[in-house]
Amino acid sequence: MQLHKYEKIWLSFGIASLVFFLLLLGYGAFYKGTHPQSHAETIDPNHVEANVSFQPEHLGLNKIAENRYVVNIVASTFNYDFGKDENGNPVKNIRIPKGSNVLFQVTTKDVVHGFNAAGTNVNMIVEPGYVSSYETVLDKPGVYTILCNEYCGLGHHMMYATLEVYE
């Protein structure tokens, strides 16, 4: 079979591109250990407390250093569990000083939920069996509504909380 000169060039170009992208993918995935942002960590949805982050005393806002926070949340139909305040009432508002570095870790006990702090770049899908995490710097003061943006049943619209970034 006789290949035309241009055919050969384009064929080689095609194969070279394929090899290049496979190498790039392999380098990212295996050498650098890059994984998608969320869903890297698995969890037993029936025993979320087995993960220390989701034990009752670690739910909600945790200050880990100056200007560094971790917020742990357990979603379930139709609630976000941010733990309890000093009076034993469920926490529904998280207050974080402006400019803080915050890691959000969310899991669910039952069905797929969303976790979106509207107006910020915090927006995750939360699936049973996984911990969804997202780290960000909150530098715009305001009160942001956290809502579920995955339809999860009749009480879907009741799943909300607020995130307050203060000066």
Summarize as ranges the residues that interact with ligand CUA (CB under 6 A): 113, 148, 150-152, 156, 159
**Pick 122 or 165: Cβ nearer ligand CUA:** 122
Whole-number minimum distance, CB 18 to ligand CUA, in Å?
41
**Side chain identity at residue 58, one-letter code:** H
**Pick 91 or 111: Cβ nearer ligand CUA:** 111
Whole-number minimum distance, CB 126 to ligand CUA, in Å?
8
Instruction: Write 35-42 long-range contacts (CB < 8 A, 24+).
Output: 37/133, 37/134, 38/124, 38/125, 38/130, 38/131, 38/132, 38/133, 38/134, 39/127, 39/130, 39/132, 40/131, 40/133, 41/130, 41/131, 41/133, 42/129, 42/130, 42/131
Whole-number minimum distance, CB 13 to ligand CUA, in Å?
48
**Pick 78 or 100: Cβ nearer ligand CUA:** 78
Whole-number minimum distance, CB 41 to ligand CUA, in Å?
20
